[in-house]
Amino acid sequence: MDLLKRRIIEDGTELGTEVVKVDSFLNHQLDIGLFMAIGKEISRRFGHLGINKILTIESSGIGIAAITALYFDLVPVVFAKKTQPNTMTEDFYGAEVKSFTKGTVSVARVSKQYLNPEDRVLIIDDFLAHGEAAMGLCSLVEQAGGTVCSIAAVIEKEFQGGSKKLRDAGYYVDSLAVITAIKDGQITFKD
């Protein structure tokens, strides 16, 4: 998605060779016009799959998932929680997820009432790096007996191996901007 790649080049910052900071439009301040273009593009790529639920993980996936739902006939958006609030008194599905940015391990949780066997789920996240978060989300859908239709990342860092891991596990992955390397302050994208 050229618009997104341009934005990453113009407004993103590389932190070393592993991390991209995109706080000005995706992770802190949210550019809703760009989110709408992203939502439209995700619907163009996955609109034919009969998706009836979008699943993401808190917190940075929520905004993009919510706007994307506008282009999927307002399907419900569910986000996995990384801690168990004391309001979550009901039974939940859980999967361990190692955080790329924090280095900590947490349990991604979704209440059993929000994932069901008839769900055809599109998993969305802001970044795909090592695939830990996406793998955890797939596990939650499968524990519920639902179907993972596809995984859509806004920005994928292909060199960290997450998409390969997910594809090897049989999942369909398609990302809007695929970074192949970050080197000498330069971000290289796949065409």
Point out which residues bind ligand 5GP (CB under 6 A).
19-21, 27, 57, 60, 100-101, 125-134, 162
Which one, 39 or 52, has the nearer CB to ligand 5GP? Answer: 39
Query: Nearer Cβ to ligand 5GP, position 52 or 178?
Result: 178
Comparison of 39 and 162: residue with beta carbon closer to ligand 5GP: 162
Count Cβ neighbours within 10 Å for each residue of 23-39 and write b for 16 or more, e otherwise: eebbbeebbeebbebbb
Q: How far is the CB of 56 from ligand 5GP (least distance, A)?
A: 9
Spatial contact of 149 and 118, defined as CB atoms under 8 Å apart: no
Nearest approach in angstroms of CB 28 to ligand 5GP is 9
Shortest Cβ distance from residue 133 to ligand 5GP (Å)?
A: 4
Nearer to ligand 5GP, 13 or 84 (CB): 13
Shortest Cβ 117–ligand 5GP spacing (Å): 26
Rounded to whole angstroms, the Cα distance separating 35 from 145 reads 30
- Are 66 and 53 in contact by the 8 Å Cβ rule? The answer is no
Report angle CA 65, 187, 172 to the nearest 5 degrees: 40
Whether 33 contacts 63, CB under 8 Å: no
